[in-house]
């Protein structure tokens, strides 16, 4: 596949679903499913640039995930800490820029600090931009944008660009393609404002089993679609 056939920038977003079911099938603790999901993410990041992807965003932890058992949440936070510390030097050498989207309020202080550190350390990189949506919810993002406008004392009509410019990561282009693994077919509060014209791709593959060929298949499926944005062609 040639990068020349892809729009630039090209943003792929992934709802990484199926870690728990993968672990259950193998009779393993759920946290080992999440660890296997990290390895799947590493494979996907390495494959992304070769497919012409400029931005890759991942749904790492939603605002609804706080409803999970406390032991699982603590395990996930420990996994985030470990992964950020261990991987930032490596992705920086690979010229990957790391961004986070979501509410840092409510996260453990050291996790939020590591997120700031990772963003600063990779800010000058010019390769793939990896956006980790952590403590993220699409509805919360829109509410925060509206409250930002209210706090500014806005008295003139609100335009779309006013909302877009106040997103958690406003410089990130809208996702062209959203992939969800594990057979579920819903967005689950992910990129709600940004997904207005995203193409959706669902696969039965559980996230820990997802690999470069699965990513390539999704991109090829995208290339076979005609995007009209409401127009008649």
pLDDT at position 157 is 95
Q: Is the pLDDT of residue 8 over 80?
A: no
Name the band, by pLDDT with cuts 50, 70 and 90, for residue 74: very high
Nearest-angstrom CA–CA distance, 106 and 21: 27
Is 201 inside a domain boundary?
yes
pLDDT at position 229 is 62
Residues 6+ apart with CB under 8 A from 221: 201
Tokens representing 79? 């996994």
Could you tell me the pTM of the whole model?
Answer: 0.93
Provide the terminal-to-terminal Cα distance of the chain, rounded to the nearest Å. 26
pLDDT at position 231 is 58
Report yes or no: 176 and 11 within 8 Å, Cβ to Cβ. yes
Nearest-angstrom CA–CA distance, 37 and 33: 6
Judge whether 209 counts as a catalytic residue. no
Average pLDDT over residues 63-87: 96
Is 128 inside a domain boundary?
yes
Tokens representing 216? 């390539």
Identify each DSSP E strand in 51-163 by its residue range: 55-62, 97-101, 129-136
Is 64 inside a domain boundary?
yes
Is 233 inside a domain boundary?
no
Q: pLDDT tens across 184-226, in order? A: 999 999 999 999 999 999 999 999 999 999 999 999 999 998 7
Q: pLDDT tens across 15-33, in order? A: 999 999 999 999 999 999 9
**Catalytic residue chosen out of the listed positions 65, 125, 144, 189:** 65
**Catalytic residue chosen out of the listed positions 17, 135, 176, 214:** 17
Is 208 inside a domain boundary?
yes
Is 143 inside a domain boundary?
yes
Domain count of the chain? 1
- Tell which residue, 78, 62, 27, has the closest CA to residue 180: 62
- 133: CATH: 3.40.1180.10
Q: pLDDT tens across 82-138, in order? A: 999 999 999 999 999 999 999 999 999 999 999 999 999 999 999 999 999 999 999
Q: pLDDT tens across 138-149, in order? A: 999 999 999 999
Q: CB burial class (10 A; 0-12, 13-18, 19+) of residue 135?
A: buried
Judge whether 17 counts as a catalytic residue. yes
Q: Which domain holds residue 45?
A: 3-223
Is 41 inside a domain boundary?
yes
Is 162 inside a domain boundary?
yes
């Amino acid at each position: 596949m040639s990068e020349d056939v892809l729009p630039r920038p090209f943003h792929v977003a992934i709802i990484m679903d199926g870690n728990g079911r993968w672990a259950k099938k193998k009779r393993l603790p759920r946290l080992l499913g999440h660890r296997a999901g990290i390895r799947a993410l590493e494979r996907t990041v390495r494959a992304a640039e070769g497919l012409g992807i400029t931005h890759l965003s991942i749904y790492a932890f939603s605002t609804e995930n706080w409803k999970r058992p406390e032991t699982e949440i603590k395990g996930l936070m420990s996994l985030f800490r470990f992964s950020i510390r261990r991987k930032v030097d490596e992705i920086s050498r690979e010229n990957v820029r790391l961004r986070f989207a979501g509410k840092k309020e409510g996260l453990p202080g050291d996790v939020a600090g590591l997120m700031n550190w990772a963003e600063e350390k990779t800010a000058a990189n010019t390769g793939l931009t990896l956006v980790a949506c952590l403590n993220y919810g699409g509805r919360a993002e829109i509410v925060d944008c509206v409250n930002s406008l209210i706090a500014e004392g806005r008295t003139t009509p609100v335009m779309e660009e006013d909302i877009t410019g106040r997103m958690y990561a406003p410089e990130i282009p809208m996702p062209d393609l959203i992939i969800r693994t594990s057979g579920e077919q819903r967005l689950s509060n992910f990129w709600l404002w940004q997904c207005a014209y995203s193409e959706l791709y669902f696969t039965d593959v559980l996230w820990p089993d997802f690999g470069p060929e699965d990513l390539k298949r999704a991109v090829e499926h995208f290339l076979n679609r005609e995007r009209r944005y409401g127009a008649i062609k």
